[in-house]
Amino acid sequence: MRDEILAYKRERILEEAVKLFYERGFTGTTLDDIAAELGVTKPFIYTHFRGKVELLAALCKPTIELSLAAVANAATLPGTPTERLRHAITDFTKVVLQRQPNIAIFFREEKNLSPESLAEINALRRQFDHLLSGLLIEGVATGEFEIQDHSLAALALGGMISWAYTWYRAGGRLTLEETAARMADLALRMAGVRVAIPA
């Protein structure tokens, strides 16, 4: 019970920090700003986090883990490489769109993370690229894909999706699901799959 309340408060701090770091940037936001928004004071934050930099890491790492998990999960599913790549891209896109502020903060504020946190996160990103490359290689092996350079293709794919943090707006022209589905179509095309487009 006590722990639940504590965890809840921790979550509230994180929510507010995400919002403000996203809007004003990491260095453009003070701990007093976050505390004020929550109706508490700065020392309160220190009962849940060691400092501002740890707060930043706590925002970034779980989101990168989620991205990796999306691709890792899709990669181990049964099905053809085409089906699995579609699944991977769809789910990864959804993570990016659902956690848009966290993704944005990570890419913008990378330089403000502690070397240790950054190293951990970069290890996750390497796994991510590796999994994506692996999927592409499999598809080439079965003849479903036609790819000149799977490393470059994996980077291009990852970039195309990640980039959505810069332009996606919830409640815009396309829903989250539609965006994810269309991104998957574009991704399959890049992999050399002949994708029919709906009229």
Tokens of 98: 């659902």
Least separation in angstroms between CB 46 and DNA? 5
Residue 160 Rama label (left phi>0; alpha psi -120 to 50; beta): alpha
114 binds DNA (CB under 7 A): no
Q: How far apart are CA 193 and CA 5, in angstroms?
A: 50
Q: Which residue has the tokens 């599913």?
A: 77
Question: By C-beta, is 9 or 19 nearer to a copy of itself?
Answer: 19
- Tokens 């970069």 belong to 122
Whole-angstrom Cα distance, residue 25 to residue 19? 10
- 148 lies in the binding site for a copy of itself (CB under 8 A): yes
Binding to DNA, residues 21-40 (CB under 7 A): 27, 29-32, 35, 39-40
Smallest distance from a copy of itself to CB 154, Å: 10
Alpha helices per DSSP H over the chain = 2-24, 31-38, 42-46, 52-76, 81-98, 100-109, 115-141, 150-162, 176-190
Residue 167 binding: pick among a copy of itself, DNA, none (C-beta 5-8 Å cut-off by kind): a copy of itself
Q: Does 79 bind DNA (CB under 7 A)?
A: no
Residues found near DNA in the complex (CB under 7 A): 2, 9, 27, 29-32, 35, 39-44, 46-47, 51-53
Residues found near a copy of itself in the complex (CB under 8 A): 24-25, 27-28, 107-112, 146-149, 151-153, 155-164, 166-167, 173-174, 179, 182-183, 185-186, 189-190, 192, 197-198
